[in-house]
Structure 1
Amino acid sequence: MRTHPPFAILTLLALLAACSRQEAPPAPAAAPVVTAAAAASAPHDAPGIAWRQAASDADVDAAFADAKAANKPVFVYWGAKWCPPCNQVKATLFNRQDFIERSRAFVPVYIDGDSPGAQKLGSRFAVRGYPTMLLFNPAGAEVTRLPGEVDAAQYTQVLTLGISAQRPVKAVLAEARAGGAGLSANDWKLLAFYSWETDEQQVLPKAQSVAALRQLAQGCPADQRETSQRLLLKALTAGDAAQVKATPADRERALALLADPAAARAQMDVLTVSAADLVRVLAAPKTPQRPQLLAAFDSALKGLQADATLSRADRLTALIARVDLARIDLAKDATPALPDALLAEVREQSARLDREITDGYERQAVITSAADLLEMAGLLDESDALLKANLAKSHSPYYLMLGLAANAKKRGDTAGALNWYEASFDKSEGPATRLQWGARYLAALVDLSPQDDARIERAAQQLFTEAAGQPGAFYERSGRSLQRASDKLLAWQHTPAQRATVKRLQAQLDAACRQLPDGDSQRATCDALLKPAPKKTA
């Protein structure tokens, strides 16, 4: 359950006309009430957006051909029904009138990660995490990747920036790194608001990200303060302390940002989602700078938590960041001893969200994070109660079951944890999702009950049987799910009986692999499963 970013995924802009200090944007438009049943529908059902569903290369090619003929850009949204950040953009972005109106200017394409050909399309577009949003020019060249976590009230402004861009972000990046003399303010903004988290090394190799983003922050003109600040924050969160090598000047700039409510509001998404990462790189443990920075962050986050112009999810993320910072110097699995006042806020906020939310999309996005928050605060029983109360209200209850499994595991209830992991797999829906949930259940069995050979074999057989029946089971997310299952099984086989089990499973997989055409890129992925990696030669 704790796989999304963070909002996540998940979750998190400056005005496009200028780089001067930004005032708080208007409150988001009220979302229509959506029941849990209605929330199960895909975003193409949202009124006003003419989504083109794509489940194959032919679907995508047709959409791009129509866009070229109409001289329109293409907006590609890649998401999944269960994904909390995906539900958040449905609840706060896709139903906004300004976004709906802006969508008339492009061809909107929706790829559901569980549609038959979605994972193959994932390979085509080099996308992995949900949600990922891409913008292409009418000629079909990728212009930019849009950050799904930004404040919805400003999202269409970032989208407009991408639509009006004269060159793809990759070309803008190259010029910026060469000195940037000819770049406009909007070119620098395009770089600052690029979704570096979903880049998948299309624009920049990961190993170069810290240095490149640092270079951009230093090269951005001094009069573009917010843009430069965002680039610096992205550089500081692109690696660990040893990679980033933050300076005292970086820390002073961060403290000035946190002390300025308007400036902090403009960088809300980075400050809330990456608070702990920023503290770690800017102030080492047991130094005088650490408590100073923690206090500044807590004050700024309190302001964001109380900001009524932000969505419930964004305000909750600010509270999650406060709890995360209160635990920052504890051992990973230590039970936190949070201040009573902070615990009271956690309880009150979680209960209020459960009472107030009526939109099914928003509930899927927010309640799962509220349950995470309760768990972070050491309130496992209350986290369980919230999750159980929402199982019947969720359009994807199997996602909530992962939280219940994690809570049971944390309290040492192995049987309870495995039962919830098994139930989440049984209830999961969609081909890619079922492989992902099945691999997670199998991993839990190997980790928590390695002696239960029969149960492990049954789970693996079911997983591989389902994979054999799917046309795209060895592409992208699905392929990675199966690879994780393979790795677990290879590491598990310690006894003759277990090695015999793996041998039977390998025969099952080999039969599935033989059904794939030799020229299909899936074949290599399939053939490598349940086989030890070749030893490296000196």
Structure 2
Amino acid sequence: MKPALSALALALALIAPVAQATAPATAAQAIAWLPAAADADIERAFAQARSEKKPVLLYWGAKWCPPCNQLKATLFKSQDFIQQTRAFVAVNIDGDLPGAQKLGARFKVRGYPTLILFSPEGQELTRLPGEAEAAQVLQVLQLGLAGGRPVKAVLTDAQAGKKLSANEWRLLGFYSWETDEQQLVAPTERTGLLVQLAAGAQGGGADADTVNRLWLKALAASNSGQGVKADAALRERVRGILSNPVLSRAHADVLTGEAADIVRALQPEAGAERQSLVALYDSALRRLEADASLSRADRSSAMIGRVRLARMDQPADAVSPKLPAELLADVKAHAARADREVTEGYERQAVITSVAYLLGQAGLWKESDDLLKASLAKSHSPYYLMSQLGGNARKQGRKDEALRWYEEAFNKSEGPATRLQWGSGYFAALVDLAPQDAAKIEKTAAQLFKEAGQDKGAFYERSARSLQRVGAKLASWNAEGQHQAVLNRLKTQLNGICAKVDTADQQRATCEGLIKAPAKKA
């Protein structure tokens, strides 16, 4: 038996070339995931980590989730990643396993996917940017191990003005702020923190790539310029990134996913300066959409960015936006190419759902519907596509058709957490689009409560939020007390369920709080 690698030796071993990070794995290769559905599974994983002196990499995801499927189609099939995970204890929490939502509460994870690197002792080192491409994720893994310090300690030093190494700044720059879940910062304070870090990195020894990324992240999180007061130097920095193919390629994930937000933060007002910036940004996105070294999902994100830029000064809910004919032709060609070329199951779930959204954003609703319908039989999670079809119909005012798709999506959904999520979505649509159908509303709520009573994880994390959404919709539906008889019957059903729910972790309190008494009239 070979001796375990020390953290430093492991870090050095990981600093291997990552140019082939997206090379597909052979059939004989696979990540040795340890599935976890309970605290006992986690304890065994960390016991193994301590025994072997290895860190733990935790992946939280779901079968239907498009970004999760993107990881499965790229990073998790990468030869480099599979080889490097031999030095980790790799733990997979599927959100639909029996105790997964409880584990989600334990590790403060909500969004799918979330990737967290832990020390063998269970100390969180960093959260990895699941939206980034494989090579970047591998680099963040390297940084998390090479530094040996948790990102929280690194952030504390950065805020105190202490000197950080270039690698520590990079750890902050590539941290997954989107899945932080208040481990480092509250959402309302994130923009200010990113601005502080970007300014500190700029004169604190960080490399230019890290400084650029922190400024882009700050702009993306600035809520239409409310958080970042862009000056001429920052505008010039971003224009330089957009003009440079190497730099724009390095930050493709931020530039494509946050195009409109970045432009609004830099140029809040419409006018000639914004038009100039949009034209430059569109050119960068054109390059990225044509870049075959990017995944198809990333290239689709670039095309979505182009459409969002073109829609910027139009109503956000415009069903038929006015877009240039050339852009519409590019969207159609992109969609046709993706439908033709993407055949692998995981990749298709990630790409086709994005392309269908792209077509809708461009006002090409028939094309979006046709693509989704043709893809139903090819999807391992067709209910996700059905919910998109429901959303398409709803946006166009076709209420009955929307409800049919939402109902079918709920009926076809699989897994306890997924069923509660899809069921709460269908229920919300029922209340919004058919409030007069009291019988169906009651029947659907009763079914969801019954399924919750059969799932020990129903009052944790995502499942709890799905049920709370149902309770909130019931309250709004009964705002005037006109449906109190229905709520009384549902409350009686719920009381029987709650009485059997464990009191630990506020589970029973969550259950009992789902249906509240109507407010008394003055």
Fold agreement, TM-score > 0.5: yes
Task: Indicate the SS of the match to 2:76.
Answer: coil
CA change 1:520–1:161 in 2 (3 A) is: closer
1:519 aligns with 2:504: yes
The 5 Å alignment of 1:306-455 reads: 306-334=290-318, 335-455=320-440
CA change 1:306–1:374 in 2 (3 A) is: same
Conserved 8 A contact 2:116-2:128: yes
Unpaired segments ≥5 residues, structure 2: 1-10
Which residue number corresponds to residue 8 of structure 2?
none
Which residue number corresponds to residue 11 of structure 1?
none
1:237 aligns with 2:220: yes
1:285 aligns with 2:258: no
Which residue number corresponds to residue 87 of structure 2?
105
Query: 2:510, 2:416 → 1: CA distance?
Result: 17
Task: Give 1:494 deviation, angstroms.
Answer: 4.8
CA change 1:180–1:419 in 2 (3 A) is: same
Task: Give 1:395 deviation, angstroms.
Answer: 0.3
Task: Indicate the SS of the match to 2:91.
Answer: strand
Which residue number corresponds to residue 263 of structure 1?
247
Task: Indicate the SS of the match to 1:108.
Answer: strand
- Give the letter aligned to residue 196 of structure 2: Q
Task: Give 1:485 deviation, angstroms.
Answer: 0.7
Task: Give 1:521 deviation, angstroms.
Answer: 2.2
The 5 Å alignment of 1:7-406 reads: 25=19, 28-30=22-24, 47-181=29-163, 183-220=164-201, 221=204, 224-240=207-223, 241-334=225-318, 335-406=320-391
Query: 1:52, 1:423 → 2: CA distance?
Result: 33
Conserved 8 A contact 1:439-1:481: yes
CA distances 1:79-124 after superposition (whole Å, capped 9, x unpaired): 0000000000000010110000100111000000000000000010
Conserved 8 A contact 2:383-2:412: yes
Query: 1:66, 1:86 → 2: CA distance?
Result: 26
Query: 2:354, 2:58 → 1: CA distance?
Result: 26
Which residue number corresponds to residue 484 of structure 1?
469
Task: Give 1:177 deviation, angstroms.
Answer: 1.0
Say which structure, 1 or 2, has more relative contact order (CA 8 Å, 6+ apart).
1
Conserved 8 A contact 1:146-1:193: yes
CA change 1:153–1:517 in 2 (3 A) is: closer
Please say which of residues 245-254 and 48-57 is displaced more in the overlay.
Answer: 245-254
CA change 1:98–1:389 in 2 (3 A) is: same
Conserved 8 A contact 1:79-1:112: yes
CA change 1:475–1:341 in 2 (3 A) is: same
Which residue number corresponds to residue 43 of structure 1?
none
Query: 1:319, 1:199 → 2: CA distance?
Result: 27
CA distances 1:260-299 after superposition (whole Å, capped 9, x unpaired): 1111111111000011110111102323321011011101
Conserved 8 A contact 2:372-2:385: yes
Please say which of residues 252-261 and 96-105 is displaced more in the overlay.
Answer: 252-261
- Give the letter aligned to residue 200 of structure 2: G
Task: Indicate the SS of the match to 1:145.
Answer: strand
TM-score normalised over the length of structure 1: 0.90
- Give the letter aligned to residue 202 of structure 1: Q
Task: Give 1:210 deviation, angstroms.
Answer: 1.7
Query: 1:223, 1:468 → 2: CA distance?
Result: 52
- Give the letter aligned to residue 275 of structure 1: A
CA distances 1:400-448 after superposition (whole Å, capped 9, x unpaired): 0011101111221111000000000000000000000000000000000
Aligned residues: 502
CA change 1:451–1:533 in 2 (3 A) is: closer
Q: Which runs of 4+ in 1 moved over 6 A?
A: none
Conserved 8 A contact 1:32-1:359: no
Query: 2:255, 2:205 → 1: CA distance?
Result: 21
Please say which of residues 414-423 and 510-519 is displaced more in the overlay.
Answer: 510-519
- Give the letter aligned to residue 356 of structure 1: E
Which residue number corresponds to residue 10 of structure 1?
none
**Percent identical:** 58
Task: Give 1:60 deviation, angstroms.
Answer: 0.4
Conserved 8 A contact 1:76-1:109: yes
Conserved 8 A contact 2:22-2:77: no
Task: Give 1:27 deviation, angstroms.
Answer: 7.8
Task: Indicate the SS of the match to 2:483.
Answer: helix
- Give the letter aligned to residue 411 of structure 1: Q
Query: 1:164, 1:24 → 2: CA distance?
Result: 16
Task: Give 1:342 deviation, angstroms.
Answer: 1.0
CA change 1:379–1:265 in 2 (3 A) is: same
Conserved 8 A contact 1:79-1:130: yes
Task: Give 1:248 deviation, angstroms.
Answer: 2.7
Q: What is the aligned-residue RMSD (CA, Å)?
A: 2.0
TM-score normalised over the length of structure 2: 0.93
Query: 1:87, 1:534 → 2: CA distance?
Result: 44
- Give the letter aligned to residue 207 of structure 1: T
Task: Give 1:534 deviation, angstroms.
Answer: 8.8
Task: Give 1:369 deviation, angstroms.
Answer: 0.5
Query: 1:533, 1:145 → 2: CA distance?
Result: 42
Query: 2:107, 2:471 → 1: CA distance?
Result: 26
CA distances 1:195-230 after superposition (whole Å, capped 9, x unpaired): 000000111222322222111111113661111111
Which residue number corresponds to residue 500 of structure 1?
485
